[in-house]
Chains A and B, each alone.
Chain A
Amino acid sequence: EDQVTQSPEALRLQEGESSSLNCSYTVSGLRGLFWYRQDPGKGPEFLFTLYSAGEEKEKERLKATLTKKESFLHITAPKPEDSATYLCAVRRDSNYQLIWGAGTKLIIKP
């Protein structure tokens, strides 16, 4: 069964304290893995798409990496405005439907 699992469920960090969020997946024929950020009361906002193992993408303090079984979202020297829920989703080769993880709620304290 296709599955996406994110960990931890919640993460509290001090401002400037770097860490990583994990997204592990079991899916046959990965077409792409997506990272989104969701703020309270808003819809998810696209961050990255990764297509193949070894691929990396960066945006400001965020860096996403992909292996054959999991993806990491690394956050370097986070700021309070990075507080949000980070969602991971995968798409199979043969199916348009995205399979979403439950998300990691990130809280950055000043």
Chain B
Amino acid sequence: KAGVTQTPRYLIKTRGQQVTLSCSPISGHRSVSWYQQTPGQGLQFLFEYFSETQRNKGNFPGRFSGRQFSNSRSEMNVSTLELGDSALYLCASQRTDPFDEKLFFGSGTQLSVL
């Protein structure tokens, strides 16, 4: 069974640009969540999508947005990039129950903002 796939693996952007990251969950998993990981802040929750609807949201500004498609694939968009957005962006999928199910993570997209 294929794991969670994230593309691209690495991205370099400049301040003010926007970026779109992609995530394909494990087959049969309907929930996809996104996390930002930095050395200083650790893992922080961005948002979670289930059946094409944003079900939960973390405390990030509106520049961070996402969506989920009918095949459960998800995209995350960051507009007007800032230097502080440099981070590893991780996608995780889980089956259905939002509270008890373990998360399966992809390898992440390493975003560098210059």
Contact = CB atoms under 8 A, between A and B. Distances in A.
Contact of B105 (A32, A41, A43): A43
Majority-rule SS of A interface residues: strand
A96 B43 contact: no
B98 to A, nearest CB: 5
B65 to A, nearest CB: 17
Contacts, number: 46
A44 B55 CA distance: 22
B107 A100 contact: no
A21 interface: no
Interface residues of A, number: 21
22 contacts: A31-B99, A32-B100, A41-B107, A42-B105, A43-B4, A43-B90, A43-B105, A44-B105, A45-B105, A46-B102, A49-B102, A96-B48, A96-B55, A96-B98, A96-B99, A97-B45, A97-B56, A97-B58, A98-B43, A98-B45, A100-B42, A102-B42
Top 9 closest A-B pairs, CB basis? A43-B105, A100-B43, A46-B102, A96-B56, A97-B45, A102-B42, A43-B90, A44-B105, A96-B98
